Amino acid sequence: MRKYLARRLILALATLFGVSVIVFVVMRILPGDPLVAMFGMEGFTKLTPSDRARLIADLGLADPLPVQYAHWIRDIATGSFGRSFFRGDSVRDLIVHRGPLSAEIGILAVLVSWVVGLPVGIVSALRPNSVSDNVARSASILFIAIPGFWLGMLIVLASLFWFGYKTPLRVIHLWQDPWANFQLVIGPAIVLGLGQGAYIARMSRSCLFEVIREDYVRTARAKGLVEGLVIMRHALPNALLPVVTLSGILMGFVLGGSVAVEQAFGVPGLGRSLVTAVIERDIVVVQNLVLLYAMIFVFVNIAVDLSYAWLDPRIRY
Amino acid sequence: MSHIDRRTFLKHAAIATGGLAVASELLPSPVLAQEDSPLRPDPAARRGGTLRYAVHSAAAHFDIHQSGTVANIGPQGPMYDNLIRRDPRDGQTIIPDLAWKWDIAKDGKTYTFHLRKGVKFHDGADFTADDVKATFARIVWPPKGVVIPRTPLFAAVSEINVLDPHRIEFKLKEPRPAKFMLGSFASGWNVIVRKKSLEEHGGNLRQVMNFPGTGPFKHVSRVDKEIWIQERNPNYWNKGLPYLDRLEIYAIPPFDPANGSALLAGKLDYGRLLDPVSARKVKATPGMTSTDFYQTVVQAFFMNNKKKPFNDPRVRRAFHLALDKHVLVDVVKDVAPMMVGGFVYPFSEWASPAAEMSKRLGYQTDPKPAVQEAKKLLAAAGYPNGIKDLDFLVRDIATFRLWSVAIQAMLKETINVETKLRVAQASAWFDEAQAGNFDVAISAIVSTLLDPSDYFTAWYGKGGPQNYSLWENPAFHDLTSQIDHELDDARRKALVRKAEDILEQDPPLVPVSWEKIYDGWYNYVKGVNPYKIIGIYDVVRWDTAWLAK
């Protein structure tokens, strides 16, 4: 187990190194000028070549690329993550302030996906081709097809025009005001969770569909166990393994989707910060947030792989 | 005592009378006692409360002088004062601010400002003429590494002299029209900052969030891209103002429906730069008001003069005539309010009368005569069958995306010109435009003043900061110089008309439309008058706002 974990961690570091190099290089070869955001998108200012050179040097963009990369890694190692090009705000402060909101959205989205997806999958698998199965399958295809940001916008507009409601405009943490915090995170979590839940419903249906035809399930039924116990104790745990794997992969969709969904709901989380940073060409913020998202994705998938051993006694590392 | 005879008396009297007559023309400063301000507290106003206001947006830095975006002046404006300012009640009249009086010398080359006594910065320091000198010296002669878009407005300033702690004079190399100079001093951007703040930070305030001002509101806290909270300055020099206890300024991007929805849902009291759909909904909601007002922006279609075929004025005029401005205004009506106009601000005193404009080719509601002329011009320039494969650089904003498609279709349909659209994000657009990597392009350009001496240089001037077409016309540049130096209003207007004729025949750009913007608010917000203000850069202080609830 330790050997396996060490190997996975080394591979994870290699993956993150690769991500860091890619995002670092991409941010420097993409067209665009951070000085435009700095001096105003209205375009009042025309910089002379010498002013431009001086400002670019002040931002640290005139250094050779390896030096710039080394500075970034140093900033990560010291935990500061560097400073935004523009206001001089620390990226660490940004993550600490807005990260909890995005984390809540991600965790709630996973919970919603399981709470919605699993029961739907079970009902579908146990009553194949019934009305409930057809409704569940149609709904799951619908939620896979609908873009999260569009559904988010519909929810925002419906809440506004029908109920005159709009979520709070500021970051409010769970420990500051749980109810206001809940209002901020629940919309994006439901939208992201329903999209994921649709995948989980389809996966759990097909897995359960196979498992309930296995010999050991038939044996359990033959022993006289009630159907509920047969499903919950014998069939479901064995059908869950691919669903857990899928959840780990879907975490990537949650992270990626949260960027657009936070924007649609106007939730001031990390996703929204990423959008603003891309528009402003705030390279420091973009590269740190992308690396953070990659780090979360990699470690969630390691955790998923490790959970196999706990879910399935046959698996040992 | 020397003897004064009748002849000498009459001679001196005549000189004195004439001098007074000239002085009354050149000294428009209102006569006020030093402690007075034309903005007196309204006895009907209710005091207290928090105004929740949303404006674009999170500033990229904090140095208002170096900025060109409402993202600075919007949230930071309430913390600072100017030397003189635009009256928030009508948005236009220039009134005293930290200078309670000003004199302009008869030769128009010296402006003397008399400063209020007893004014304190938010950190408790006294405000003196040294602060004004430090502020304007940086604007007029920016140090290395500091770039200030308003520097060209003060190109004629040769000296700034502190006469005493409460008197300062600006000497000009040559006279400039007083309206232009006073408008430049009154620009909302030119806020007074402390000399010490500038000295402590090497003359660069880009990373300094809270440098003290003298304004009606003081910094309390700020969360990046989220909110800026300010509280009433209890020691504000204009006793009785401001009325509000607190400002909560939320960072919401312009035209973002989030602004309108937050306003409609009661999370805000006042929203600036609303999208048209939200503005209409606000207008239809009982207890709320919305209005559009003029902005100091033209939406422009640029043609790269350094490339064929746009080095030929006939081709540029053909493009100008082929574009139906009335249709283009209609195309974006659900995204932004716009109006048709020529090369001069259509709502300014310098513009040709609307009736005259509506008969002019290129502005008529019936586009046929203009299109026929455009075809003739293109044929005469050697392109009777149209032009193919033009690179059309489009700034990635909703209005420009809509216009680019409409313009593409219009050009193809009217003069058989084919363009290939290339959409670029703002930062990339400016990169490409400034490098001249385009055939035609579309974006917006902005000015500080409505005075042609400002934007004729910035937009159409040789090497002007926003002359993206890289246009040059010696006759026009010569006229611009005359306009800058002419002190007589009537003669200046005649020169502007001549310059306008040149711009029509040899267009540096196509004025697609002139921007208007929407504000929306609850009726309990009083003391603000966006109906008459022009632009979002000058009247931003909220010192006269109050809440009737």
Q: What is the pLDDT of residues A181-213, one digit of tens each?
A: 999 999 999 999 998 899 999 899 989 888 888
- What is the residue-averaged pLDDT of chain B? 90
Task: Read off the pLDDT of residues B407-443 as tens digits, 9 standing for 90 and up.
Answer: 999 999 999 999 999 999 877 888 888 889 999 999 9
Give contacts of B 106-145 with A, CB under 8 A.
144-145
A132, two tokens: 């409930």
Cβ-defined contact of A31 to B428 (cutoff 8 Å): yes
Q: Are B543 and B39 in contact (CB under 8 A)?
A: yes
pLDDT band at A136, cuts 50/70/90? confident
Mean pLDDT for chain A overall: 86
Residue B226 to residue A32, Cβ atoms within 8 A: no
Contact A180, A98 (CB under 8 A): no
Cβ of B264 within 8 Å of Cβ of A46? The answer is no
Q: What is the mean pLDDT of residues A175-184?
A: 93
Q: Which residues of A touch B259 (CB under 8 A)?
A: none
The reported pLDDT for the residue numbered A98 is 92
Query: What percent of chain B is modeled with pLDDT above 70?
Result: 93
For the question of an ipTM over 0.90, the answer is no
By three-state DSSP, how is residue B222 classified?
strand
Our CA-based measurement puts residue A268 at a distance from the nearest CA of chain B, in whole angstroms, of 8
Contact A169 B266 (CB under 8 A): no
Dump pLDDT digits (tens) for B171-223.
999 999 999 999 999 999 999 999 999 999 999 998 898 999 999 999 999 98
Q: What is the pLDDT of residues B347-402, one digit of tens each?
A: 999 999 999 999 999 999 999 999 999 999 999 999 999 999 999 999 988 899 99
Whether A44 and B68 lie within 8 Å, measured CB to CB: yes
Share of chain A above pLDDT 70, in %: 97
Write down the residue that tokens 């002299």 correspond to.
Answer: B161
Are the C-beta atoms of residues B521 and B40 closer than 8 Å to each other?
no
* DSSP-derived 3-state class of residue B273: strand
- Structure confidence at residue B25 (pLDDT): 41
Pick from A44, A88, A164: CB nearest B446:
A44
CB < 8 Å from B in window 260-279 of A? 266, 268, 273, 276, 279
Q: Is the pLDDT of residue B8 over 80?
A: no
pLDDT in tens, B477-530: 999 999 999 999 999 999 999 999 999 999 999 999 999 999 999 999 999 988
Q: What is the pLDDT of residue B33?
A: 60
Q: Nearest by CB to B226, which of A41, A86, A268?
A: A268
Residue in B455, B401, B407, B152 with CA at minimum distance from that of residue B301: B407
Any CB–CB contact under 8 A between B266 and chain A? Answer: yes
Residues A10, A267: Cα–Cα separation, whole Å: 35
* Whole-number pLDDT of residue B27: 45
pLDDT band, very low/low/confident/very high, at A242 (cuts 50, 70, 90): confident
Across the interface, of A43, A166, A279, the residue whose CB is closest to B430 is A43
The reported pTM is 0.83
Q: Do A40 and B61 touch (CB under 8 A)?
A: no
Nearest to B306 by CA among B396, B180, B209, B433: B433
Three-class SS state of A32: coil
Q: Which A residues in the span 85-114 are in contact with B, Cβ-Cβ below 8 Å? A: 85-89, 94, 97
A35: number of CA atoms within 13 Å, CB side?
24
Taking alpha carbons only, the member of B193, B256, B192, B251 closest to residue B222 is B251
CA distance B104 to chain A (A): 29
Tell me which chain A residue has its CA closest to the CA of residue B430. Answer: A36
Q: Which amino acid is at B335?
A: V
Residue A236 pLDDT greater than 90, yes or no: no
Which of A83-87, B15-19, B543-547 has the highest average model confidence (pLDDT)?
B543-547
d(C-alpha B444, C-alpha B338), whole Å: 12
Percent of chain B with pLDDT over 90: 77
Contacts of B513 (CB under 8 A, 6+ apart): B298, B299, B325, B328, B329, B332, B338, B339, B340, B341
pLDDT for the residue numbered B401: 94
The CA angle B85-B86-B89, to the nearest 5 degrees, is 130
Is the separation of the CB atoms in A95 and A270 below 8 Å? yes
Chain A interface disruption, residue of B423, B427, B443, most A CBs within 10 A: B427
User: Cβ contacts (< 8 Å) between A85 and chain B: which residues?
Assistant: 60
Task: Write down the pLDDT at residue A163.
Answer: 85
Pair type for strands B227-232 and B246-251: antiparallel
Structure token pair of residue A196 = 């994921």
Res. A81: pLDDT tops 50: yes
pLDDT at residue B14 tops 60? no
Asked if the model's pLDDT at residue B142 lies above 80, the reply is: yes
Residue pair B367/B299 in contact by the 8 Å Cβ criterion: no
Residue B20: φ, ψ to 5°:
-65, -40
Chain B residues inside the 8 Å CB shell of A88: 61, 206-207
Q: Which residues contact B197 (CB under 8 A, 6 or more apart)?
A: B205, B208, B211, B212
Tens digits of per-residue pLDDT, A275-288? 888 877 888 899 99
Q: Tell which wins on pLDDT, A306 or A13.
A: A13
Alpha-carbon distances of B233 from B43, B252, B302, B512, rounded to whole Å: 19, 25, 46, 44
B530-541 confidence digits (pLDDT tens): 888 888 899 999
Q: How many CB pairs under 8 A join A and B?
A: 141
B466 interface with A at CB cutoff 8 Å: yes
| DSSP percent split of chain B into helix, strand, coil, nearest 5 | 35, 25, 45
**DSSP element (H, E) containing B402:** helix B398-415
B-facing residues of A in 161-220 (CB < 8 A) are 164-166, 168-171
| Per-residue pLDDT, B16 | 42
